[in-house]
Structure formats: C-alpha cells, structure tokens
Amino acid sequence: MPTNKSNGISNNVPPTRLERILRSRKTSKEPYPNEATDTNRGTEPFEGEGDNLGTSHVEQNSEADAIQGVHGEMCEKQEARPTRQRLLVVANRLPVSAIRRGEATWSLEISAGGLVSALLGVKKFEARWIGWAGVNVPDEAGQRALTTALAEKMCIPVFLDEDIVHQYYNGYCNNILWPLFHYLGLPQEDRLATTRSFQSQFDAYKKANQMFADVVNEHYVEGDVVWCHDYHLMFLPECLKKYNSEMKVGWFLHTPFPSSEIHRTLPSRSELLRSVLAADLVGFHTYDYARHFVSACTRILGLEGTPEGVENQGRLTRVAAFPIGIDSLRFIRALETSEVQGRINDLKRTFAGRKVMLGVDRLDMIKGIPQKILAFEKFLEENSEWQQKVVLLQIAVPTRTDVPEYQKLTSQVHEIVGRINGRFGTLTAVPIHHLDRSLDFYALCALYAVTDVALVTSLRDGMNLVSYEFVACQESKKGVLILSEFAGAAQSLGAGAILVNPWNITEVASSIAQALNMLPEEREKRHKHNFKHVTNHTAQLWAETFVSELNETVVEADIRKRKVPPKLIPENAIKRYMESNNRLLILGFNATLTEPVDTPGRRGGDQIKEMHLKLHPELKGPLTALCRDQKTTIVVLSGSDRRVLDNSVSSSTELWGVRHVVSSRKWDVFTSHQRGMDDNNARAFKHGVGWQCRHVFEYFTERTPRSHYDRRGTSLVWNYKYADVEFGKIQARDLLQHLWTGPISNASVDVVQGSRSVEVRAVGVTKGAAIDRILGEIVHSKSMTSPIDYVLCAGHFLGKDEDVYTFFEPEPLSDDINMGKGKGTEALKVSSVEKKASLKVSASKSGSSKSSSHGKTQQRPLPNSDKRTTPNNNSNGGGSGSGRRPSPEKISWNVLDLKGENYFSCAVGRTRTKARFTFGTSDDVISFLNELAAASCSGTSF
C-alpha cells in the first residue's frame, strides 16, 4: 500500500495533550503560502448534510461558475504546495451535480455547501471527496467518463443503483433514521408497512455503506484521515476498521442525536451504535447530542461512559461537541458589493415605514413554520397598533415534494397564510409575504441586512446556520434574533438571542413584541456578543479543529494501546505446556468457565442465569481430559458461594478425579481441614460485620429495581448491573455512605467497588492469598515429588484480586529488595519475598529441582521460615498445609521452578490488568482449553 509521508503526527510529539493542542492551534494560525480568499465561496451545505440545510439554499447556477473557478484554483495551488495530510471526506452526496450530455460526456456544477466552504478554507489538509453523484449510471462507459470528470474536482464517485438508492436513501435514511433523530414518529397507518419493509431497507443501508467503504479503501493511502459524515453512513466506520484497524476514522453527525429512550425503539439500535463506536472520534454539534449518544451506549450496550467518551474493552472512542460555523467573511464582504447594496435600497423603499421580520427555512415538519405563523397571528391580535407597521417575510424552500406528508404541510401553511392575510391585510399591503422557492446568495444577503427581527422557530434542528448568517449581515442594523431553544445554535448564540419554546405560541408572540420594542442599547449589546462568536467560530476553524482533534485522539490511543497486554498466543502456551513436567492451571469461574449470560445487542443479559451460574457445557470434555493427565493440576477460583461451585465443579469430581480438581472459594480448599477453618471465619463474619451490613444491603436491594445481593461465607456483594445505570450509581454512592457511617465505620473489612457492584469482605481476602494456602494443600494432596514448572492463570477478576497474577511472577530476589525506593516500596517488596519464601515444602531427594540455566526462575530458599506458616512448618497453628511432619529421610525443596517463559497470566475481558496476556471473552478461554486438551491427549507439542 502506498504511503503518505504527511501522516499528521510529527516525530517530535509534545508529551502532553495540552501542549499538542496549543502547538496545533499555533500552527493553524500561521499563514499558508500563496493563500487566497474569495467572496464567492458557498456556505450552503449540499444535500444529505442533515440539518445544516438551514442555510441560504441559493440557486446553484447563479454562483456555479465563480465557485468552480475557486475550486479549480484550489486544486492548482495544491499541486504546487508542500505535501499536506490528505483528508478523505466521505458523505452521501458529492458537492457537485452531474448532468449527462452524451454517452461519455458529463456536465458538472458545483453545489455550494457549508461543508464545502469549511474545507475550502482549510490550509492544513488536502481534501478529497467521496460520495454518490446523485445520478444512476448503469453502464461502465458512463462510469469511467464520470469518474474522470470528477477527478478534476478532487471528487471520487460511489455508484449506487436505483434499487439501493430507493431502499437505502429514500427508505432507511429518510423514512426511519431522519424522523427518529428528530423525535418524529411515523404516521400510525404507515407503521405496519414500515415494519414489514424495515429489514430489506436495513440490509440495503448496510450494503450501501459497504460500497462506500470499498471505494474509500481503494483510494486510501497510509496516513490519510477519513472523515465520515451524517446518519447516512453510520455503518461506515466499522466497515473501514475491518479493512485497516490503523486507519484514522472520524464520524460527525449533522442532525440531533435523540435521547436513549427514543433511540432504543430502533430495531437496529445496537448495531448502529457499535458501528459508530469503531471510529476514533465521534463528533456532534452540541454537548446535549454527545451526552445522548454516550447515554445510549451506556444504557443500551452496557458500556462505560467517561468524560472523554465511551470505553469498550479498554478501547476509548472519544465523543465531543464541535459546533459548526459559517464563512462569515464571505457575507460581510458581500454586503459591500454594489449588487447587494442596490437590492438593499430596493427593499428599504418597498417596506418603508414597516418593521421587517424574516424567516428562512426548508418547508419541513421540523422547521416549525406553522407554529411561527400562528405566533405572528397571535402577536397581531394582541398588538393592534403593530398591524400595519410590521411585515413577516417567510422564505420556504420546497423539499421532498413527492411525499404526502410534505404535500399536506405545504397546504396547511398556505391555508394559514391566506387566512391571516385575509384577516389583517389591506388592498395595498399584507402582513405576510410567503415564497415557496429559494433565493440567490446576494438577494438573501440583502434580506438579512434589512431585517429587524429574525425568527427561527425550529421544532428540532441539528444546528440551523440561518441564525449565523443573519448575525453576520447585521453589523449595521443590529437586529434581534428570536431563536428556538431546540435548535443547536441556541447553545452558541443563546446569550445574545431571545430563546423561545416554539410550541408555546403565547411565548413566541410575546418575544416578537419584546424584540420590536427593544431599546437600541440592548440590541447593540446582544448583537455584539453574537457577532463576535460568529466571526471567531468559523466553518474553517470547525473543520481544522475536528481533524486536529482526530489526529490527537489517534496519538493518545497509540499511547494507551502500548499499556494493554497482548492477546495470548495459544500455540506458544500449548508448546510450553507440553514441554513441562508439572503444570498448574488456575482458572477463574465467573465469566471464564460459566455459561454466557450476556445478550448480544443489549446491556446486561439474563439476570436469572447470572444469579445461578453454571459451568459451560462445552468445558466438561476438555477439563475431564486435562484432569486425567497426572502432570496437571487444576484450581478453580471463584467469588461465588460455595454451593455454586459444589453444584458446578464438585458434582463432576467423579468424572474428573477429585485429586486433580481443587476448587477454591476466596482462600478455601475443599478439604476437611480447610473447611473447618473456613467455617470459623465465615461464622465470625456472618454474626459480626456481615450481619450488620446485611440489613443495609437488603434495604438498598428493595429500593433499587433489578438489583440483588449475594451472601457469601466471608463477604457480601450488592450487584446493580441490571438496574438503571444512573440510578444504580446514585444508589451505590448512597449505600457506601450508609456503610462507612454505620456498620463498617470501625470494622476490619475491605470495601471493593466493581464496575456495577459493591462488596464488603474480610481484610486480606483475595485470590492471591487463596493461592498461598492452596499450594500447600496441592503438594500434600497429590504427594508431589517435583516442582511446578508451568503455571497458567486466567480469569475475570476484580482489581483487588489481581494479586493472583503477580503471585507467580518469576522475579529474582535481589530485584525485589534492593530497589532503594523508600520505606513504602521496601515494605511491599519484603512482603512479596515472604510470600515466595513460603513456597518451600518437604519432599524426597529424588524430587529436588535443578536450577534453570537461562531466564528468570522463581526458585528461592527460605530465609526466615518462622516468619510465616508454611507447609513444612512444624507448628500447629492454622497453617495452610496438612500439618504432616516430614520424615527424617526428607529434605527441603522448592514448590516452584518456574521460568518466565513458562508463566502465562491472562485476564479475561479486561485490558487494564496486571496480567501478562489477555483473552477477549470467555469463548476464547473455551477455545484455548479445547486446544490444550487435544494437545494433551495426543501428546504432541506445537
């Protein structure tokens, strides 16, 4: 694959995120060689760019030549400039309109849009466009000719046939996703038909996204940035990552993103969310939309939401708000042209003596045009003195005229306008001038300039840039902006605008009166605030910021990736297993050996199954085979109650051989001596702190629907995995507060917080402590005569239990105690030495081990045998061994002769871990154990 040397990341990367961002901002402000500007660059987004369509909607032909010249000039400049990072902009529609003139002849017209304007002004990147040209080209000759013509405009076509366009674009995108994202329900009579055709439309949607991905992959060069746009391409990030996981992919939504309660009604909700999460950076216009997206991922997928974004299996998808802007300089310069000044003078003469109110919208359900006109009618009713002094100019650009709902809306608007004009109009003047068409750019600028009050009453809008354009043209008149609080622009311009609820006709009417009667001083203050924002937060800055943040996100992801342990390579682990003489397999139970409880595509899973865990049926065979191997010992560790392990593991001891399976709960080995010691500890916890905590746990279980708690021998666990995410977190904080101020205020216990659980356990109860005791029991129950030279430890353990991974780390003794890092570190290292010193028992001479000639080996003498109770300790204290005194002919030897390459610690489903390796899911564990059992039975080494 070819390489783009300009990969967007310098070799000298600043060490901190803040320094990198500051350097990027400084670089973006530096002038680029031979940079030119032009007033005739479009700001109206091209079709398919969501709610940024609230811009001018000018007639394309009036500016096509000028914009085409600028576009061609840009391409020529790019060839002469130094190499810049390539930006592949992928959208449903290309910024051109293609018209076929002959078999191999095409005429192209530039479709001026907000995204086009944004990227034309970006100096740091070389933009190439990928998308559908808007026409069906079934023949290869026509496709080749159109591809050649588009290449001159830095555009690359994706060819979609008519059936795909109908099902994907007209069907799934416009009839399902678009209404859903704007909080609109389908008409009742259409729901059944839509439900029946949903799957075919969804299949077409995925197919179209895959076709886009194929074209992107074909033209991708290493180091390119791929920027996907809007709800049409929600599957694209996942498709691209399947081609190349190192590809830099960003996705931006130009519409609102609905609340999780709305999004969860979509049948394909989970697939779409997971596909978008494949991107490195996900962008929205406002923080509200970003928050809704994170909430949907948390509530629907059960993933962890963070201030940075969404975390899934250690991979962080960054989610942030990037409010788009306009090319304000283009509007400001246009006002100075003679053409616009002439139109301004004409409009002033036409509406002399009357205040001008303006609305510019697509004729769409979400734009709130009927609500706007009804509010204006109410204003005229309540303020009769204004009836002949104000006029509302409403520009309504027709859209989707073949759809019955839009035809009905058009008729409704016309009826309301006619009724109001008939009621309040005269022979010489009417209060509403309604136009069902678009205006050219200069006419629109002139209208903005003479307007006293702009009225934007969107019922739901991604951004709505009409408000930005109005502010940019008001430096002279300083008109008032009335803005819907449901438009994304309200979060940017809310301080200087009058915010209204468009559904409240009375409030909007009152705001019109407030705007018309506002004092000049207040108008100037409001305008100054908004004008500063519009001129500073331009479309060019928006594009540069997003792409720079995407590059920065990739840098941070690379840093995090280095900290993630690699996945276990089964062949290597199996080879070492076959070459060893005494193997120890330590396996977690929950989420490692159990039946799957999670339901694909939704948060959590089967709660009843999780409350009554069972061994995975596919594991009985491989575990049976491994237990028959005299050189292998299996230990099962679990935080579940003993009865769970009795039912799942011990019930099969006849099948496996009891001497080969040592099941452990926390620290307990199922032998009579250990059970007696466990009963004492369990009784003390149960009738002490556990009894007091139990009432608190019961209280919060009753108050939190779908939560439950488990009573165990030496711990209590409250689990709220299946409860409402936010409510569960609040209840967990409240529960902890009750515990700390009550039952455990002076108790010797540990409180362990999981991702969605709270556990109270006796101090020192960890799986690492369990292994320390279990090893002694293993030696004597199996009458071991040779040291353990292979250890595999795998499980889905809480952070506090991950000491089981470090327990077997083969580190030289001198490395542990001669670090010189202060008293705290020294104490920790000495504890580790004492732990490993205890791994020494009595055995026969023939079983003494030989030292390894290479690699780190855990094989250490016992410096202070009286410091801890060990298997060969002759004292009668509660040791972890069997208490048998060695015979005179026995000598002391080490339990472990473990080389570093023979130790495999594996975390299941966790990436932030102390383990050396990882398993993705429990399915990987099952697959590995099957391979291991097969190798063990065949006796062949990989």
- Beta strands in 253-354, from DSSP E residues, in sequence order: 281-284, 304-305, 309-312, 315-321
pLDDT at 114: 61
pLDDT at 590: 82
Whole-number Å distance between alpha carbons of 335 and 157: 36
More reliable by pLDDT, 591 or 76:
591
Smallest CA-to-CA distance from 335 within 261, 445, 195, 180 is with 445
Q: Which helix (H) or strand (E) holds 813?
A: helix 813-817
Give the other-Cβ count within 10 Å of 425's Cβ: 15
pLDDT at 9: 43
Please report, as a single letter, which amino acid is at residue 817: I
- Beta strands in 780-868, from DSSP E residues, in sequence order: 790-795, 840-843, 857-858
Q: What is the mean pLDDT of the chain?
A: 78
pLDDT at 852: 37
Task: Read off the pLDDT of each residue in 709-735 and give the average, rounded to a whole number.
Answer: 86
In angstroms, the first-to-last Cα distance of the chain is: 33
Query: 759-781 burial, b for 16+ CB within 10 Å, e for fewer?
Result: bbbbeebbbbbbbbbbbbbbbbb
pLDDT of 106-137, one tens digit each?
A: 888 877 566 776 676 666 788 899 999 989 99
H helix runs in 629-748, sequence order: 642-648, 653-656, 672-687, 689-703, 725-740
Task: Read off the pLDDT of each residue in 344-373 and give the average, rounded to a whole number.
Answer: 95
pLDDT reading at 825 higher than 50: no
Sheet containing 668-669: give its strands across.
Answer: 668-669, 661-665, 632-638, 583-588, 790-795, 903-908, 917-919
pLDDT at 896: 81
Task: Read off the pLDDT of each residue in 468-497 and give the average, rounded to a whole number.
Answer: 95
pLDDT at 456: 97
Whole-number Å distance between alpha carbons of 322 and 491: 12
Q: DSSP code of 605?
A: B
Task: Read off the pLDDT of each residue in 470-498 and give the average, rounded to a whole number.
Answer: 95
Whole-number Å distance between alpha carbons of 209 and 221: 20
Residue % of the chain over a pLDDT of 90: 46
More reliable by pLDDT, 257 or 719:
257
pLDDT at 621: 85
pLDDT of 793-810, one tens digit each?
A: 999 888 778 888 888 887
Whole-number Å distance between alpha carbons of 761 and 685: 9
More reliable by pLDDT, 938 or 579:
579
Secondary structure (DSSP) of 532-586: HHHHHS-HHHHHHHHHHHHHHHHHHHHHHHHTSPPBP-HHHHHHHHHH-SSEEEE
More reliable by pLDDT, 399 or 117:
399
Smallest CA-to-CA distance from 456 within 422, 491, 490 is with 490
Strand partners, 87: 127, 225
Task: Read off the pLDDT of each residue in 499-522 and give the average, rounded to a whole number.
Answer: 97
pLDDT of 744-771, one tens digit each?
A: 887 778 888 888 889 888 777 777 777 8
Smallest CA-to-CA distance from 121 within 61, 56, 38, 52 is with 38
Q: By the 8 A CB rule, do 227 and 88 touch?
A: yes
Whole-number Å distance between alpha carbons of 598 and 70: 55
More reliable by pLDDT, 766 or 492:
492
pLDDT reading at 674 higher than 50: no
Whole-number Å distance between alpha carbons of 659 and 642: 18
Whole-number Å distance between alpha carbons of 290 and 283: 7
pLDDT reading at 655 higher than 70: no
Q: Of 59-63, 343-347, 881-885, which one has max mean pLDDT?
A: 343-347
Task: Read off the pLDDT of each residue in 822-846 and give the average, rounded to a whole number.
Answer: 39
Whole-number Å distance between alpha carbons of 384 and 43: 39
More reliable by pLDDT, 110 or 619:
619
pLDDT at 691: 75
Helix-then-strand count for the chain, H and E: 34, 32
Whole-number Å distance between alpha carbons of 221 and 56: 36
Q: Which of 72-86, 565-579, 632-646, 847-861 is least confident? A: 847-861
> Global pTM?
0.77
pLDDT at 837: 46
pLDDT at 248: 96
pLDDT at 748: 76
pLDDT reading at 482 higher than 90: yes
Whole-number Å distance between alpha carbons of 310 and 317: 5
H helix runs in 220-279, sequence order: 236-243, 260-263, 269-276
pLDDT reading at 252 higher than 90: yes
pLDDT of 231-246, one tens digit each?
A: 999 999 999 999 999 9
Q: Which of 398-407, 665-674, 853-862 is least confident? A: 665-674
Structure tokens at 1: 């694959």
Residue % of the chain over a pLDDT of 70: 72
pLDDT at 753: 85
Q: By the 8 A CB rule, do 673 and 776 touch?
A: no
- Beta strands in 742-897, from DSSP E residues, in sequence order: 749-753, 757-762, 790-795, 840-843, 857-858, 891-894
Q: By the 8 A CB rule, do 110 and 236 touch?
A: no
